[in-house]
Homo-oligomer: A and B are copies of this chain.
Amino acid sequence: MKRILNLLAIVLMTTAAMMAQDKKSFTLEDLLPGGNNYFNLQPKNIQGLTWWGDQLLKPTLEEVKTIHPKDGKETTLFTLEALNKALESVGINRVRALYTLNYPWADKTLVQLPKSQRYAVYNWETGAVTTRNDLPKEPYANVDLNATSGNMAYTIGNNLYVNGVQVTNEPEGVLCGQSVHRDEFGIHKGTFWSPKGNLLAFYRMDQSMVTDYPQVNTSTRIATLEPDKYPMAGMTSHKVTIGVFNPATKKTIYLKAGDPTDRYFTNVSWSPDEKSVYVIELNRDQNHSQLMQYNAETGERMAMLYEEKHPKYVEPQNPITFLPWDETKFIYQSQRDGFNHLYLFDVTGKEIKQLTQGEWLVKSIVGFNQKTKEIIIMSTEISPLQSNAFAVNTQTGKTRLIGAKEGVHRIQLSGSGKYVVDSYTAHNVARSIDIIPVSGKGKDLNLLKANHPMEAYNMPEITLGTIKAADGKTDLYYRLVKPVNFDASKKYPAVIYVYGGPHAQNITDTYNYGVRGWDIYMAQLGYVMLTVDNRGSSNRGLEFENVTHRQLGVEEMKDQMKGVELLKSLSYVDADRIGVHGWSFGGFMTTNLMLTYNDTFKVGVAGGPVIDWKMYEVMYGERYMDTPQNNPEGYKNSDLTQRAGDLKGKLQIIIGGNDPVCVPQHSYAFLRACIDAGTHPDYFIYPGDGHNMAGRDRIHLHERITQYFEDFLK
């Protein structure tokens, strides 16, 4: 009997092997962005869905259709041909595709065209095209167009313009109308129109006192200097002020915020009546934030409405949001109870109540349903791996799920807040797109259920699990990828892919648990691939994140070593062949792991690594590490040049030759330290590239990373 079972097992295994053989193998071209077959293997999608009021628009190659939210009936709104005919008649460039048009007027049959069509507005009912005559001849950028007023802000060089009028006239080294503070604190732009578009708040950043980092462009006939203002931790930083420009009077005032030295001005927003500007101000230590209200006409400070302190850091990332149905109340987002939640305040700064609570966090406010007086948010209420839409009842604080319970959702709310179009993936859902009534009443309308796009390929097994963190109590999520054609009796090499820094999460309930294309490729080559989201990473709350404060790397590495314990517990993992790879913070982690646990890790590839936090910039660096002056021990302990002599395994450092984020000095310092210590890292540079490699360079990069493990870990 046993023999027959064995025989049967062989037959089954052989069949499985044969089936596996019938399936295709991946190349990097299939699996990585930049690869020539990458898009073909991505789950199907519907491009360019967008709301026009409560009507969902679906652009195709030839026309824009409306989809009726109830029955899904499609009606043609206008055609590409008609649009282009109208544009031609007024001498404007043809539109090539309909996927990126804007419909900011819910009540008008108007579409806003992009830059290449000079922001013209097309009326699909009348066929009329409204053009702008105030566009500059010089190259311009940072365009911010207010649909209500039609006012347009933009920058030329370092100065700000509105409707053809020069607003600022600053020398080089002073930037106006652009993002400031190196895009930290949720800042991504430098202009903020008042609700009706009558006034423009804008950033002015004087960085003339900031030291240049000498970036070099080696692609010119002879290499040329392209200096970049880079304030390093503990060094002199830039100074930010906020102006308010009135297009009607052409006058600018500046908010009277006092000396801007060593302060951050974040999350600029407006009162609904356009009379006040709100700013969340933060000290350089980043442990004290204050919500300030300024008079938009005089610049006078009107009130300090709310403040927050924390022994480690506070990190305001969201502007206040007024309730659309009550202009006397706004929502403030805070992590003060350990998780990002919504708090309701009145305009005097009186805290009315905490709107949401629980051991989960609000990821964003999407919008409102005016009728039901609900706030639509994305949150991790169901699982930290997920992002689901909920309607929050402002009276009771109760939340109501919108859409499927699983997965990571991206939603767009219709004009009135009555519907969402919801696109989501989950570990076993390639993509689903649905129109869902926010009320929960009425039928969902499915627009797409994507097939599994890699079914023709020989896929590895991808599993999710949890382990205990090094603190012995916190659950950490991991994603394990087994080799393709897995054979439990074999011993496989294993590679940990790590990021480990704040504001990132590698494992989510997205398709295949967010597995990386390279993980699949390595699994195909016979590696076990593991990723663990250690303490310090995002979406698990403040304490989970800030345990790393003043000692970046230490707790993160301890958690990664729990991942190593997991690997070692697997009978099919060869504990003598464990490698590690990561980029940016993950490059720091990789290098640090190679030095700290140099008997564990045989091979590492560290991309764009931070080597010494005092060479990193002020905003991000000092939040987590304080300054080198007041945390010398912490900086020294995390300075990897100090331990260059501990390198035992094979470590390759790879950088973009012009990385403006983690400047090349990091890796040069590390190489110099290793040379002086007599150790031998390997090195590669992608000349001209920045902090990450894109397009074809990304393919080349992963060939390179793969080859390194193949050469030295196999």
Contact = CB atoms under 8 A, between A and B. Distances in A.
Interface string A660-692: 000111001101100110101011111110000
A18 interface: no
A711 interface: yes
Nearest to A230: B222
A439 interface: no
A697 interface: yes
A672 B680 CA distance: 24
A218 interface: yes
Interface stretch (A209-217, A363-371, A389-397, A426-434): A209-217
Interface string A133-146: 00000000000000
A223 B682 contact: no
B213 A223 contact: yes
Contacts of A686: 671-672, 675
Interface stretch (A271-279, A299-307, A502-510, A699-707): A699-707
B665 A657 contact: no
Oligomer copy total: 2
Contacts of A235: 221-222
A225 interface: yes
Most interface-central of A222, A663, A676, A703 (chain B CB within 10 A): A222
Nearest to A669: B218
A232 interface: yes
Contacts of A85: none
A621 to B, nearest CB: 13
A669 B683 contact: no
Contacts of A361: none
Nearest to A224: B214
Contact of A665 (B223, B664, B676, B699): B223
Given A211-B222, A682-B682, A683-B683, A696 B676 contact: yes
Contact of A687 (B213, B663, B671, B697): B671
A615 interface: yes
A219 interface: yes
Nearest to A650: B711
A684 B683 CA distance: 5
Contacts of A668: 218, 223, 657, 685, 687
B707 A680 contact: yes
B672 A688 contact: yes
Contacts of A678: 696, 699-700, 703
Contacts of A664: 218, 223
A401 to B, nearest CB: 47
B222 A213 contact: yes
Nearest to A657: B668
A651 to B, nearest CB: 12
A180 to B, nearest CB: 20
A71 to B, nearest CB: 51
Given A668-B685, A680-B707, A697-B675, A225 B219 contact: no
Interface in A550-600: none
B222 A232 contact: yes
B687 A704 contact: no
Nearest to A211: B222
Given A680-B707, A683-B685, A672 B211 contact: no
A30 to B, nearest CB: 16
B684 A682 contact: yes
Contacts of A699: 678
B223 A225 contact: no
A448 B664 CA distance: 53
Interface string A601-624: 000000000000001000000000
A703 B681 CA distance: 12
Contacts of A213: 222-223
A687 B682 CA distance: 13
Given A680-B704, A683-B684, A672 B219 contact: yes
A92 B337 CA distance: 73
A686 B668 CA distance: 8
A222 B676 contact: no
Contacts of A669: 218-219, 687
Nearest to A234: B221
A329 B313 CA distance: 85
A696 to B, nearest CB: 7
A222 B688 contact: no
Contacts of A707: 680
Contacts of A696: 675-676, 678
B232 A221 contact: yes
Contact of A214 (B216, B676, B703): B216
Contacts of A688: 672
A645 to B, nearest CB: 12
A664 B224 CA distance: 12
A214 B219 contact: no
Most interface-central of A213, A230, A663, A665 (chain B CB within 10 A): A665
A688 B682 CA distance: 17
A666 to B, nearest CB: 9
A216 B211 CA distance: 14
A220 to B, nearest CB: 9
Contacts of A671: 684-687
A379 B519 CA distance: 66
Contacts of A676: 696
A225 B214 contact: yes
A154 B688 CA distance: 43
A684 B225 CA distance: 22
Interface string A225-245: 101001010010000000000
Given A218-B669, A682-B682, 7 more contacts: A211-B222, A214-B223, A218-B668, A219-B672, A221-B235, A675-B687, A675-B700
25 contacts: A211-B222, A213-B223, A214-B214, A214-B216, A218-B669, A218-B672, A219-B669, A219-B672, A221-B232, A221-B235, A222-B235, A222-B665, A223-B668, A225-B225, A668-B685, A671-B686, A675-B686, A675-B696, A675-B700, A678-B696, A678-B699, A680-B700, A682-B684, A683-B683, A683-B684
Rank and list the top 3 A-B pairs by shortest CB-CB distance, nearest first.
Answer: A668-B687, A218-B668, A214-B225
